Chains A and B, each alone.
Chain A
Amino acid sequence: EVKLVESGGGLVQPGRSLKLSCAASGFSFNDYWMGWVRQAPGKGLEWIGEINQDSSTINYTPSLKDKFTISRDNAQNTLYLQMSKLGSEDTAIYYCASTVVTGYFDYWGQGVMVTVSS
């Protein structure tokens, strides 16, 4: 069974940094693109970015490129999202997701809440 479990969320002060993790199991992590999508409370989905199998290609939504960094550790079957200079607009549920090819996401984690507030 494919399982994606996000962690690392919580309450963080404006201007601070936070690193999310996504532990993958039940599939060959090395063979999949991985990505992050977020959803502000009561809002729609926002594509953050994606990383290919060997980390040689990482794509970001332009507005977040200077704040967020996606990485992965294939030995640990883990995806990461490093977030910096956080503001209230970054308050959202953050989902990690997998895809065989770049594009649509076929499996999603349950999401982790990040709240940016003083």
Chain B
Amino acid sequence: DIRMTQSPASLSASLGETVNIECLASEDIYSDLAWYQQKPGKSPQLLIYNANSLQNGVPSRFSGSGSGTQYSLKINSLQSEDVATYFCQQYNNYPPYTFGAGTKLELK
């Protein structure tokens, strides 16, 4: 299985700040990477697919980048509604399609 290592496991940021979350794959996943946001008590929501494509309806302050084994999710101008846990997922090599362990984002 491809291992997805997310960092940091948690972070605290202030409103208006820029936040970066990293995801490292154990092998090249050729940009077959998605990012999800999960708010407390809710189901995950797709933010980014194919490493850098923004899902319809997702605010433009979210962006994804990366290639090979290294990927990142960037949140510009952090809003209170962005408090959530974020997961990356690779879908290049399966089964299974594997998720990262998650990054819990809180407000400072």
Contacts and interface: CB of A to CB of B under 8 A. Distances in A.
B97 to A, nearest CB: 5
A41 B91 CA distance: 24
A102 interface: yes
Interface of B: 32, 34, 36, 42-46, 49, 55, 87, 89, 91, 94-102
Given A44-B87, A103-B34, A108 B43 contact: yes
A27 interface: no
A62 B95 contact: yes
A55 interface: no
A104 B96 contact: no
Interface of A: 37, 44-49, 59-62, 95, 102-111
A44 B99 contact: yes
Given A45-B44, A95-B43, A102 B91 contact: yes
Given A44-B101, A44-B102, A45-B87, A106 B46 contact: yes
A102 B99 CA distance: 15
Q: Which of A61, A104, A105, A110 has the most CB of B within 10 A?
A: A104
Given A45-B36, A61-B96, A108-B44, 4 more contacts: A44-B100, A44-B101, A95-B44, A104-B49
A109 B55 contact: no
Q: Which of A61, A102, A110 has the most CB of B within 10 A?
A: A61
Nearest to A101: B91
A47 B99 contact: yes
A105 B95 contact: no
Contacts of B99: 44-47
A109 B91 contact: no
